[in-house]
Amino acid sequence: MGQNAGGIKGVTASHEHTPLFEARGISKSFGDVTANKDISLKVDTGEILALLGENGAGKSTFVKMTDGVLRPDSGAFLWNGKQITIKSPAAAKRIGIGMIFQHFSSFEALTVLENLALALPQRSLRAIRRDVAEVSERYGLSVNPKSRVERLSAGEKQRVEIVRALLQQPKLLILDEPTSVLTPQEADGLFTTLDSLAEDGMAMIYISHRLSEIKELCDSATILRHGEVVGSCDPQSTSVSEIAEMMIGKTADPIDRAGAYVGGPRLVVDNLSIPVKEGVPLKNISFSARRGEIMGIAGIAGEGQDTLFAALSGERRTPKAQSIKIDGQPIGTMGPTSRRRKNIAFAPEQRLGHAAIADFSLSENLRLTRHAMREFSNRKLRARSLKIREDYDVRSSANDPKAGTLSGGNLQKFVIGRELDRHPDVFVVAQPTWGVDAGAASSIRNKLLSVAQRGGTVVVISQDLDEIFQIADRVAVLHRGELSQTHLVHDMTPDKIGMLMSGEDIDSEPKSTTTQNFTRNRARKTTETTEETIAVRTGTAHEQTKEPIRQAAPLSVVESPKPATPPVITSSAMTSSVSVPQSPPPAKSASQSSPRRRILVSGTVTTPWTAPEVIQKGTVL
């Protein structure tokens, strides 16, 4: 299933089987902009359909129509073969469509039970509490109704979202980037749950930019480009590079791991502690980033990343100037403008409101950072803004568009380009490819590598482990405001980083029950081959070339000591099934679960080299 249904409004499918949900010829425009054009797809009971596409491809618009937030201009939705009208999210729920959004929708100050009661106003607290216990026992979704949401880990908050959806007994579940804030172990637990839900008949539409997840979890994939369906495939038999090529219309640029000279420490953070009234305080943070190196700071969302970025950018000045040094000079008490004049550049996680002002044109947003360098000429700023757009493939129909009119991916490319256009000595960037399509992500990562290759220093604060493994030389993990020891990337695995993300010591036995890896237990949902199926292949694609990862020479620099007794967050494994019947079958025991395998990181590391040496394409000169 998951394939194109012919794209002709009103045409009945040629095969006899009727899918659970079908979209026929769905179109939606906003003024002169066509967001969706003649989109047709199907998803059947027990099927996980991936909906893929680069930023601006039309995925969000389509999902909003499926959830009743928007209404299509033309086309039809069918449920078990009968045409339906989805007038609102409440109507979608009554039909049997549930939605789990990328960003958690719970109120942080309320308990889990109170949040669930808001979604189920017709049911008593006693009934909800009983149903939560039933769902938790049956599906392994450990949730304490009395806990305040603000005290839960990201994985626990994700479980609350799933429980809330299941209590509404959906038959089709739509998930938008569900693993974006999860550790690898928590993601594995989620996959086990989704796999079991599908096994019991739940249909799902799964949206993610992590193609390795799509390959392992999903039965079929429909690809959108420029608002139209351009292809469908079996993701389990199609390579990541081929799927990416279908999404962007060309082969993504391979990550260029050409080597550079790695020198001494340029950015040194020494025993940095910052108390905060809101957010996560930093506690004794120490690390160094060297010339020619990319230093990765991993961690799930909300572990102190915002506070660390603010300290490194100068938005939050440190109590002691010596806490942060650039080339040996203390800068901790300097503000952002003074740091920019020392050729340091910054790109924060939040694009609109922090990195750029929505109502300002791109040239005006360029002025926001260039005023530190005393660049004020409107003509020069417009010319420079246009050059950045050309160099970084920032797409817009306007000459000097407002930042708010760009898609998230295009705005991110402009923000990165604006900072790197200055050729900074040090570049600090948070979530550089957050929500960006495969082609743009590859381009941005190559730009970061080019900074290191010319001798610059890059600090990447990222939740994306694929990204860390692709471009970073060393990595440390931020957890509850404390930074782990720094490790060479080639010595690490996703499971090891996941343990550090959960506050565990990688030298000890894992204490979490979710450190096993995901293995698909259910039989594959077979895809019917009909005359309506779209061709899978769009051209020859090549797997990404894997270059040797660079190993930096040991230096005597200050690093964070290991905590003697690190706090441990445990997550129970998420297992099995679908809607909420009155008499549930017994829960699956852990002993019944099959061993699971790692599916996340798509990159592979090979033999490292030792610096300081000059390297080119993995060969010591």
* Chain segment 588-611, per-residue pLDDT in tens: 333 333 332 222 322 323 323 333
500 within a domain of the structure (yes/no): yes
Band (523; pLDDT cuts 50, 70, 90): low
With beta carbons less than 8 A apart as the criterion, state whether 317 and 517 touch: no
List, for residues 287-317, the tens digit of each pLDDT value.
999 999 999 999 887 789 989 999 999 999 9
Instruction: Tell me, yes or no, whether 271 and 418 share the same domain.
Output: no
Least confident piece of the model among 99-103, 414-418, 419-423: 99-103
List, for residues 532-581, the tens digit of each pLDDT value.
333 332 333 333 333 333 343 333 333 444 444 333 333 333 333 333 33
What does the block give as tokens for 210? 């992590």
549 within a domain of the structure (yes/no): no
323 within a domain of the structure (yes/no): yes
Is the pLDDT confidence value at 356 over 80?
yes
289 within a domain of the structure (yes/no): yes
pLDDT value of position 521: 65
Band (363; pLDDT cuts 50, 70, 90): very high
Peptide bond before residue 581 is cis, with ω within 30 degrees of 0? no
Strands 48-52 vs 220-225: parallel, antiparallel or unpaired: parallel
Least confident piece of the model among 329-338, 385-394, 591-600: 591-600
Q: Is 23 exposed, middle or buried (0-12, 13-18, 19+ CB in 10 A)?
A: buried
Is the pLDDT confidence value at 126 over 50?
yes
Instruction: Tell me, yes or no, whether 337 and 256 share the same domain.
Output: yes
Band (31; pLDDT cuts 50, 70, 90): confident
pLDDT value of position 2: 55
Instruction: Tell me, yes or no, whether 381 and 300 share the same domain.
Output: no
The radius of gyration of the chain from alpha carbons, rounded to an integer in Å, stands at: 25
Q: At what angle do helices 125-139 and 112-119 cross, to 10 degrees?
A: 110
Is the pLDDT confidence value at 468 over 70?
yes
Count the domains in the chain: 2
573 within a domain of the structure (yes/no): no
Average pLDDT taken over every residue of the chain: 78
pLDDT value of position 136: 80
339 within a domain of the structure (yes/no): yes
For the range 351-358, what are the long-range contacts, defined as Cβ-Cβ under 8 Å and sequence gap of 24 or more?
351/403, 351/408, 351/411, 351/412, 351/415, 352/403, 352/404, 352/411, 355/411, 355/415, 356/403, 356/411, 356/414, 356/415, 357/403, 358/402, 358/403, 358/404
**Predicted structure pTM score:** 0.63
Instruction: Tell me, yes or no, whether 295 and 321 share the same domain.
Output: yes
pLDDT value of position 464: 85
For the range 234-237, what are the long-range contacts, defined as Cβ-Cβ under 8 Å and sequence gap of 24 or more?
234/527, 234/536, 235/50, 235/211, 236/524
Mean pLDDT calculated for residue range 483-500? 91
Instruction: Give whole-number Cα distances, 359 to 2, 402, 405, in Å.
Output: 39, 6, 9
Least confident piece of the model among 236-240, 271-275, 605-609: 605-609
**Domain containing residue 459: CATH number:** 3.40.50.300
With beta carbons less than 8 A apart as the criterion, state whether 502 and 183 touch: yes
Instruction: Tell me, yes or no, whether 339 and 430 share the same domain.
Output: yes
Q: Domain boundary at 506, 531, 558, which? A: 506
pLDDT value of position 245: 86
pLDDT value of position 279: 73
Q: Name the most confidently modeled range: 19-28, 136-145, 439-448, 504-513.
A: 19-28
Residues belonging to the chain:
621
Summary count for the chain: helices (H), strands (E): 16, 25
Instruction: Tell me, yes or no, whether 312 and 433 share the same domain.
Output: yes
- Beta-carbon contacts of 94 under 8 Å, excluding residues fewer than 6 positions away, are none
Q: Which domain holds residue 407?
A: 352-422
Give percent above pLDDT 70 in the chain. Answer: 75
Mean pLDDT calculated for residue range 21-44? 94
487 within a domain of the structure (yes/no): yes
Is the pLDDT confidence value at 72 over 90?
yes
Nearest-angstrom CA–CA distance, 440 and 90? 36
589 within a domain of the structure (yes/no): no
Instruction: Tell me, yes or no, whether 261 and 329 share the same domain.
Output: yes
Instruction: Tell me, yes or no, whether 333 and 445 share the same domain.
Output: yes
**Residue ranges in 5-140 assigned as alpha helix (H):** 59-66, 89-95, 112-119, 125-139
Q: Domain boundary at 406, 422, 438, which? A: 422
What does the block give as tokens for 484? 């782990």
Instruction: Tell me, yes or no, whether 392 and 296 share the same domain.
Output: no
Q: Which residues in 24-63 are b (16+ Cβ under 10 Å) and which e? A: bbbbbeeeeebbbbbbbbbbbbbbbbbbbbbbbbbbbbbb
Is the pLDDT confidence value at 172 over 80?
yes
Least confident piece of the model among 176-190, 362-376, 520-534, 595-609: 595-609
Instruction: Tell me, yes or no, whether 294 and 256 share the same domain.
Output: yes
Instruction: Tell me, yes or no, whether 432 and 303 share the same domain.
Output: yes
Instruction: Tell me, yes or no, whether 394 and 256 share the same domain.
Output: no
Q: Domain boundary at 506, 529, 555, which? A: 506
Give percent above pLDDT 90 in the chain. Answer: 45
